Structure 1
Amino acid sequence: MIRKMLIVSSMCLLITGCMSEQSSNLESKPVTLTKKAEPSEEFVPSSIKLVGIGDSLTKGVGDESNQGGYIGMVREKLEQQENIREVVVDNYGVRGHKTSNLQKKLKEEEVIASIKDADIIVMTIGGNDIMSVVRNNILSLDFEPFRKEQKNYENRFQTILTTVRELNSSAHIVYVGLYNPFKYMLPKLTEIDMIINEWNLATQQMIKQDERAVYVSVDQLFSTESDERLLYKDEFHPNQSGYSLIADKVYDALKENEIYQDSTVRNE
């Protein structure tokens, strides 16, 4: 009986010792916590600063939807991109402005500060310069006054580009070309088409001198008749549909030239 009790006691001591050893091993085993990896910077949405300067087209006159014309529509398209958190817009377009007015506008402190901080600068200007010639020569329209004024326009436009570049050397500049608003109102005045083309070609040549600037042609959008009206009731400014087509062209130019991708990298 005594022998049996000794055997049972020995077995209990052996089992207790094994359990203590296992417990000791478990307690001393180090625990490693895996830290969740931070997302890559390329997946972090960025903010883009878009500044509009120029005339009534930049302001969005004629857009019945109140989206802000082509600039507001481009903003909406850009914000649909996964790598863009928001597009901050400063719009300094003014109805009736000519190149001479824009030269003065670029001297305002608020505009200067905005352009310095811009990633993309979009611009429409020149239409009112042509309109001024039309008004002053409505009874005897010929090429001479337009070509004379074109030289003045080119000088002013070059000054505008130079001023913008002095304020911001890295921003992308997008210039939206001229179209003929008299196409439907005065269809027999075909000379205007030639004048618009000459002014656009001159502007395009100046834009080409800047490697971070792009010219967007829109004259073909308004040159052919279609069932859909593209002009506002004033027969001069684009309507919502017209602005939507301009916005498509501007957005396509941004994509083709990888401008908005470059702008997001600049802001990271």
Structure 2
Amino acid sequence: MIRILLIVFSVFILLSGCASSSLYSSSISDKKNNLIEKLNPPESFTSRDLKIVAIGDSLTAGVGDESKQGGYIGMVKKMLERETGLKEVTLSNFGIRGHKTDDLLKKLSNEEVISRVKEADIIVMTIGANDIMEVVRGNILSLDFEPFRNEKKNYEDRFSDILSTIRKHNTEAQIVYVGLYNPFKLMLPELTEIDIIIEEWNNSSQRLIQADPNSNYVPVDDFFSRESVDKLLYKDEFHPNKLGYSLMADRVFNAIKNEEINYLSSE
């Protein structure tokens, strides 16, 4: 009788051990599967393409970038490709040297530009410096605040039309506007009034940009207002050099990246 009880007890212990081993193996297997899922997220998260359209003047065209990276926007493209893990980042750059706000409005009526704007996830632009330059040229012998402030009203109207035109073709893209800096800091250092003019025009642009919930104003005038501004400018003493563009690129990239993180996390 005792022998039978010992046999039954031994069998019970053996079966219990097998059951525990099975549960342990199952637990290990579940953890392994969970890890594989985390290491291999859904394809939709990692395979998204990002389409950028750049519009505006010589800064968007990259004039002065000795490294031939395409100025700030070319650098931003490389930073996005390196940092975000997106499948592909495509850039359509329509920046043209010398363009003013009225030129950009005409450019936005071009069929190719319209097509790219419609498909864009992000639209980046620099505009306004040549509008100010035109006022300087027209009033070089008697520069004061009045002609700049009169033209600022026209600039605001055209800037507003630019934003409206973009939104007519694309209601969802993130718009990033890179603000103005004083391009005459080295050429005409005695014109300290230009700093005030730049600030006033930037305030107008910022106000119009911030009225759109999916737009960002990126200031850069603080870079070029320092005593070491000569280290940030190209040999023409007007456009940024590689270092100047890289500082601009950092801020534009951060503005874009913050929005993209919010976008991806909501998918």
The answer to whether the 8 Å contact 1:52/1:92 transfers is: yes
Distance 2:78 2:86 in 1: 11
Distance 2:178 2:46 in 1: 31
Q: List runs of 5+ in structure 2 lacking aligned partners.
A: 1-32
The one of 70, 88, 96 aligned to 2:72: 70
- The alpha-carbon distance between structure 1 residues 234 and 146, as it changes in their structure 2 partners (threshold 3 A), is same
Q: Give the length in aligned residue pairs.
A: 231
The one of 154, 157, 169 aligned to 2:156: 154
- The alpha-carbon distance between structure 1 residues 107 and 41, as it changes in their structure 2 partners (threshold 3 A), is same
1:253: how far off? 1.7
Alignment match, 1:220: 222
Larger Rg: 1
1:56: how far off? 0.5
1:134 maps to amino acid: V
Distance 1:39 1:246 in 2: 33
Q: List runs of 5+ in structure 1 lacking aligned partners.
A: 1-34
- TM-score scaled by length of structure 2: 0.82
1:244: how far off? 0.4
Distance 2:115 2:255 in 1: 26
2:146 maps to amino acid: E
Q: Cα deviations across residues 214-264 of structure 1 (Å, max 9, x unaligned)? A: 000000000002286111111111011110000011112223xx2223555
Give me the CA root mean square deviation. Answer: 1.9
- The alpha-carbon distance between structure 1 residues 137 and 52, as it changes in their structure 2 partners (threshold 3 A), is same
- TM-score scaled by length of structure 1: 0.82
- The alpha-carbon distance between structure 1 residues 155 and 105, as it changes in their structure 2 partners (threshold 3 A), is same
1:248 maps to amino acid: D
1:260 maps to amino acid: E
Helix, strand or coil: the match of 1:84?
Answer: coil
- In terms of fraction of residues, the more helix-rich structure is 2
The one of 108, 114, 117 aligned to 1:106: 108
Distance 1:178 1:61 in 2: 15
Work out the percentage of aligned pairs sharing the same amino acid. Answer: 61
- The alpha-carbon distance between structure 1 residues 82 and 141, as it changes in their structure 2 partners (threshold 3 A), is closer
Q: Cα deviations across residues 136-172 of structure 1 (Å, max 9, x unaligned)? A: 1011100110001000000000000000001000000
* Superposition map of 1:131-142 within 5 A: 131-142=133-144
The answer to whether the 8 Å contact 2:223/2:229 transfers is: no
The answer to whether the 8 Å contact 1:42/1:83 transfers is: no
* 196-205 vs 79-88, which moves further: 79-88
Alignment match, 2:27: none
